Amino acid sequence: MSPTTWFITGASSGLGHALAQHVLERGHRVVATAPVVAPMAGLADRHPHECLVLQLDVTDGRRCAEAVREAEEWSGGIDVLVNNAGIDFIGALEEQQESDYRAVFEVNFFGAVTLTRAVLPAMRARRRGTIVNISSMDGLASLPGNGFHSASKFALEGFTEALWQEIEPLGLRALLIQPGSFRTGIETRTRASGAPISDYAVTAGAFRAIMNKVTPDMFPGDPARGAAVIFDEALSPTPRHWVVLGSDAQRRIGVKLDQLRAEYEAGKDVALSTDFPGSGEYAML
């Protein structure tokens, strides 16, 4: 396999760092990016010719464009973009501060959109390239107390599903990674937003209480093993569109799919009853 160039956001820790390390160890090139570059210095020290470290805040559109240009000039072209950067705040939807939930969308969704749009022109010109968007089990199954994070991942899922339908005829690919709880240190970076409201004590309040007691050993996901799967799927000649990682994600997404199927079947007659008589055969989709 010829060496490929990977552009990875959020590469200073967790799954992004593990993926950058795995890609480099397999003889490929990595453009490792994050708002703070110091934690990525070891990657560049161990792989001075294969790793370019760039400071990047994905909410800065101008810097995103510059970073993509620097990466393309350094490597000759980006083969795989991994939109991994993400943040989270917890609390009921009514509790959380507007500045916090808007920040979640700016990083988790709009940052991925900006970088995807930045790499697509060169990928289209080469008729080669892969977009890997790191979603979450929260992108299919929401929880009380984590609604804005889930909403940002739901948005990323919808964006990516449309994306692969648009770009696959051009020879490009896109896929979603749906991790569960991985030992990435996110429990030390996630904080509550807003003041608790007593009416939500048994719902969002319970989630707040759990997060205050979380320890790494409560997370089943191994970042190194997850990175290996992402690497293989991104370079597979027949990649999947949805890749679930982790036993907790497999369980929770399975429950959600069962719920959706049950609701779908129960509501079939109601759905059909709302059409103009005889119009269903002319539906656009």
Residue 177's Cβ-count burial label (10 Å; 0-12, 13-18, 19+) is: buried
pLDDT tens, 134-181? 999 999 999 999 999 999 999 999 999 999 999 999 999 999 999 988
Give phi and psi for 193, each to the nearest 5.
-120, 130
Residue 156's Cβ-count burial label (10 Å; 0-12, 13-18, 19+) is: buried
List C-alpha distances in Å: 171 to 54, 82, 114, 181, 242: 28, 18, 21, 33, 18
Domains of the chain: 5-247 (3.40.50.720)
Quick check: 20 and 43 in contact, CB under 8 A? yes
Please write down the HEC assignment for all residues of 141-183.
Answer: CCCCCCHHHHHHHHHHHHHHHHHHHHHHHHCCEEEEEEECCEC
> Which value, in Å, is the radius of gyration of the alpha carbons in the chain?
20
In one-letter notation, the amino acid at residue 222 is D
* Residues of the chain under the 70 pLDDT cut: 184-189, 214-218, 280-285
Both tokens of 169, joined, read 């005829």
pLDDT tens, 69-99? 999 999 999 999 999 999 999 999 999 999 9
Give phi and psi for 102, each to the nearest 5.
-70, -35
Produce one character per residue of 252-266: b if its CB has 16 or more CB atoms within 10 Å, e if not.
bbeeeeeeeeeeeee
Identify the pLDDT of residue 184.
67
Identify the pLDDT of residue 216.
65
Determine the longest span between alpha carbons in the chain, in angstroms: 69
Identify the pLDDT of residue 285.
67
Identify the pLDDT of residue 283.
66
Both tokens of 30, joined, read 């990595």
